[in-house]
């Protein structure tokens, strides 16, 4: 189903057409507030409603760890968790026979909430203790005033945030604390930026988001030239409450620009596709260091996979635009490429048994020059729990350069402080799984099978690859 607008690839031309990544005009700073995950408005616990208040210690935990998504204006398909009443409602999605506070205990215990992070042990104890006792409103008058004390509850986000980026847990850089991290992208000098809109099939108009959870894939002609590299990607979000995550792929699929594959099975690696970027609710835009450009694998198409979550109870429309900015390769000192670390071997065809499983593989710098790793994007399936990469020096010293819990519905790229892998040094990557499926799980592309890919972004592009042929055809591997 070709789209009504011109499907031709190539040169960016004005106007947003469904089948082409349209360029974003450069120039003046945008002042649009908000954007991805920006829920800075109304983030504080509403301590003064008639519905009562949460105890202050609980409110603090919830504001700081949940309100990024579950605030007064929830985003990404999350529900409101602001007053004690909100916790007493029936669970809308997860288990409608239970109350939200009962479901919350399950989701905290299985590690799927908070999405994208982990609760500190004492915070978990505080929140879980309150939930276990029935999530009752506080009767202590002192708690009534903690709304303001619990603070603004402002998590990273909002155009005005200028906190310098910090190195967070697991060694990753909190890119969302960088200035402007949530703003729609505007081309900077030398850059050309392209937009890939969510649109209705055969039209430039907004897409009608089905009720509940759904996945869809949009195809576009590759708009940049063969010598361009990427510098940034992000989005101009439209209907934030229904957007859960997106993944950007280059694709060789036999599709036409403008095609929309609606209601696909779920998060996949894409058909004949190479992952080049991703975002999940709570995240923000991604920027290469100033001296690095990201290699864009040659392909005729871009495919963007969106996971939408419409819990508004009403039909919703969305016209969000994923944005990607490029420069000619000669404008960046270093060109970074993606290498697959990890493994495709889970006890060969037998697959991994029940319970905890860890698979560690090694990738050595066999060249005669240093290689610099600047980021990772872990990819596993439903039973993946953690991804870790250690840098082992030739003299035996080991530094953990990446260690993050894995959640299937939160597949994002992470920036790390540049890690220099010297000749002879080794990257040791460990994928952890918890197999509770009741059967052995082998490698495969469907979500009933598993993957263990740690996509490493490093420069010079290709230097880390040792070329072992992967089962899915990739040659840019190292294990
Ligand atoms: C980055 C965003 C994000 C953060 C942070 C987050 N959640 Fe969620 N949460 C979601 C989304 C999206 C859903 C709906 C999809 C799902 O069920 O996974 C959800 C679902 C839930 C549900 C199930 C709702 C139902 O259908 O019954 C509960 C309970 C929950 N979250 C509790 C929490 C708690 C408690 C915290 C903080 C400790 C938290 N979440 C932090 C995004 C988030």
Find the residues whose C-beta lies inside 6 A of ligand 1.
65-66, 68-70, 76-79, 91-94, 100, 103-104, 107, 113-116, 119, 244, 281-282, 309, 409
Indicate if the pLDDT at residue 321 is higher than 50: yes
With a pLDDT cut of 70, the percent of the chain lying above it is 83
DSSP 350: G
Under 8 Å between Cβ of 227 and 318: no
DSSP 165: P
For ligand 1, the distance from its centroid to the CA atom of residue 37, given in whole angstroms, is 14
The domain limits of the chain are 56-149, 177-331, 334-459
177-197 pLDDT, tens digit each: 777 778 899 999 999 999 999
The 10s digit of each residue's pLDDT in 1-55 is 333 333 233 333 333 344 545 454 333 222 223 333 333 333 333 333 445 889 9
CA distances from 391 to 35, 167, 168, 364 (A): 35, 17, 18, 10
Distance 303 CA to ligand 1 centre (A): 27
Most confident of 64-68, 145-149, 326-330: 326-330
Q: Whose CA is nearest to atom 32 of ligand 1?
A: 104
What is the pLDDT, as a whole number, of residue 267? Answer: 60
Q: Which residues contact 397 (CB under 8 A, 6 or more apart)?
A: none
- Mutation test residue for ligand 1: of 63, 78, 307, 411, the one with most atoms within 8 Å of CB: 78
How far apart are the C-alpha atoms of 135 and 139, rounded to whole Å? 12
Residue 272 confidence class, pLDDT cut points 50, 70, 90: low
Distance 103 CA to ligand 1 centre (A): 10
Q: Whose CA is nearest to atom 23 of ligand 1?
A: 94
Q: 177-331 and 334-459 share one CATH topology?
A: yes
Cα distance between residue 84 and residue 13, in whole Å: 52
For position 469, what pLDDT does the model report? 77
Q: Give the atom of ligand 1 at the shortest distance from the alpha carbon of 91.
A: 27
State the average pLDDT over residues 223-233: 95
70, 81, 88, 157, best to mutate for ligand 1 pocket (most atoms within 8 Å of CB): 70
Residue-averaged pLDDT of the chain: 82
CA-nearest residue for atom 10, ligand 1, is: 78
Q: Please name which of 250, 286, 292, 230 lies closest in space to residue 459, comparing C-alpha atoms.
A: 292
In this prediction, residue 56 has a pLDDT band, given cuts at 50, 70 and 90, of very high
Closest residue CA from atom 28 of ligand 1: 104
- Are residues 72 and 170 in contact, defined by beta-carbon separation less than 8 angstroms? no
11: buried, middle or exposed (CB in 10 Å: 19+, 13-18, 0-12)?
A: exposed
The pLDDT assigned to 146 comes to 66
Diameter of the chain measured on Cα atoms:
69
CA distances from residue 311 to 87, 92, 141 in whole angstroms, order as listed: 16, 8, 35
CA distance 72 to 67: 8
Cβ neighbour number for residue 141 with a 10 Å cutoff: 7
CA torsion through residues 43, 44, 47, 48, sign: negative
What distance in Å separates the CA atoms of residue 457 and residue 83, rounded to the nearest whole number?
42
- Asked whether 471 and 344 are in contact (CB, 8 A), the reply is yes
Cα of 245 from ligand 1 centre, angstroms: 14
CA distances from residue 173 to 26, 81, 96, 398, 401 in whole angstroms, order as listed: 28, 28, 38, 20, 11
- Shortest CA distance to 234 belongs to which of 23, 20, 26, 35? 35
Q: What is the pLDDT of residue 165?
A: 57
- Distance of alpha carbon 93 from alpha carbon 113, whole angstroms: 14
Q: Which atom of ligand 1 is nearest to the CA of 77?
A: 12
Please state whether beta strands 243-251 and 301-310 pair in parallel, antiparallel, or not at all (unpaired): antiparallel
Neighbouring CB atoms inside 10 A of 50's CB total 6
C-alpha 280 to ligand 1 mean position (Å): 13
Q: Radius of gyration of the chain from Cα atoms?
A: 23
Ligand 1: centre distance to CA 204 (Å)? 32
β-sheet bridge partners, residue 455: 340, 377
User: Are 370 and 422 a contacting pair, CB within 8 Å?
Assistant: yes
pLDDT score of 279 = 86
**DSSP tag of 129:** H
Rounded distance between C-alpha atoms, residue 15 and residue 158, angstroms: 27
Query: Which residues touch 314 (CB under 8 Å, ≥6 apart)?
Result: none
Q: Using pLDDT thresholds of 50, 70 and 90, give the confidence band for residue 160.
A: very low
According to CATH, the topology of domain 334-459 is Jelly Rolls (2.60.120)
Torsion angle in degrees (nearest 10) through CA of 442, 446, 452, 454: 170
Is the four-CA dihedral 162, 167, 168, 173 of positive or negative sign?
positive
Query: What's the CA-to-centroid distance between 108 and ligand 1, angstroms?
Result: 9
CA dihedral 343, 346, 348, 349 (to 10 degrees): -120
**Rounded to whole angstroms, how far apart are CA atoms 219 and 238?**
19
Of residues 438 and 35, more confidently modeled? 438
User: According to CATH, what is the number of the domain 177-331?
Assistant: 2.60.120.310
């Amino acid at each position: 189903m070709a789209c009504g607008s011109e499907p031709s690839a190539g040169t960016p031309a004005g106007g947003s057409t469904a089948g082409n990544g349209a360029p974003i005009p450069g120039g003046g700073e945008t002042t649009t507030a908000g954007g991805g995950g920006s829920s800075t408005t109304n983030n504080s616990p509403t301590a003064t409603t008639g519905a009562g208040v949460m105890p202050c210690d609980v409110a603090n935990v919830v504001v700081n760890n949940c309100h990024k998504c579950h605030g007064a204006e929830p985003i990404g398909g999350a529900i409101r968790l602001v007053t004690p009443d909100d916790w007493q409602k029936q669970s809308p999605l997860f288990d409608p026979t239970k109350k939200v506070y009962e479901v919350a205990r399950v989701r905290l215990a299985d590690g799927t909430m908070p999405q994208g992070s982990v609760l500190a042990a004492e915070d978990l104890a505080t929140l879980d203790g309150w939930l276990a006792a029935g999530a009752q409103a506080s009767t202590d008058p002192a708690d009534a005033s903690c709304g303001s004390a619990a603070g603004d509850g402002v998590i990273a986000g909002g155009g005005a945030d200028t906190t310098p980026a910090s190195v967070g847990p697991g060694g990753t850089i909190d890119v969302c604390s960088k200035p402007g991290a949530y703003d729609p992208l505007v081309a900077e000098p030398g850059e050309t930026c392209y937009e890939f809109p969510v649109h209705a099939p055969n039209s430039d108009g907004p897409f009608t988001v089905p009720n509940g959870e759904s996945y869809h894939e949009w195809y576009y002609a590759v708009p940049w030239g063969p010598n361009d590299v990427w510098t940034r990607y992000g989005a101009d979000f439209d209907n934030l409450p229904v957007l859960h995550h997106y993944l950007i792929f280059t694709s060789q699929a036999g599709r036409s620009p403008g095609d929309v594959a609606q209601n696909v099975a779920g998060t996949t690696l894409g058909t004949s596709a190479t992952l080049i970027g991703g975002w999940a609710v709570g995240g923000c835009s991604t920027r290469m260091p100033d001296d690095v450009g990201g290699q864009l694998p040659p392909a005729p198409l871009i495919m963007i996979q969106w996971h939408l979550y419409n819990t508004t109870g009403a039909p919703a429309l969305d016209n969000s635009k994923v944005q990607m900015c490029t420069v000619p390769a000669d404008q960046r000192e270093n060109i970074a490429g993606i290498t697959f670390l990890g493994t495709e071997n889970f006890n060969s065809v037998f697959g991994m048994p029940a319970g905890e499983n860890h698979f560690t593989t090694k990738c050595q710098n066999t060249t005669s020059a240093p290689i610099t790793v600047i980021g990772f994007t872990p990819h596993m399936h439903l039973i993946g729990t953690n991804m870790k990469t250690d840098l082992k020096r030739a003299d035996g010293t080991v530094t953990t350069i990446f260690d993050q819990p894995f959640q299937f519905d939160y597949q994002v790229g992470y920036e790390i402080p540049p890690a220099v892998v010297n000749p002879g040094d080794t990257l040791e990557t460990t994928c952890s799984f918890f197999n509770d499926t009741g059967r052995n799980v082998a490698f495969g592309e469907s979500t009933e099978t598993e993957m263990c890919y740690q996509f490493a972004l490093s420069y010079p592009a290709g230097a880390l690859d040792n070329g072992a042929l992967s089962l899915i055809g990739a040659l840019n591997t190292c294990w």
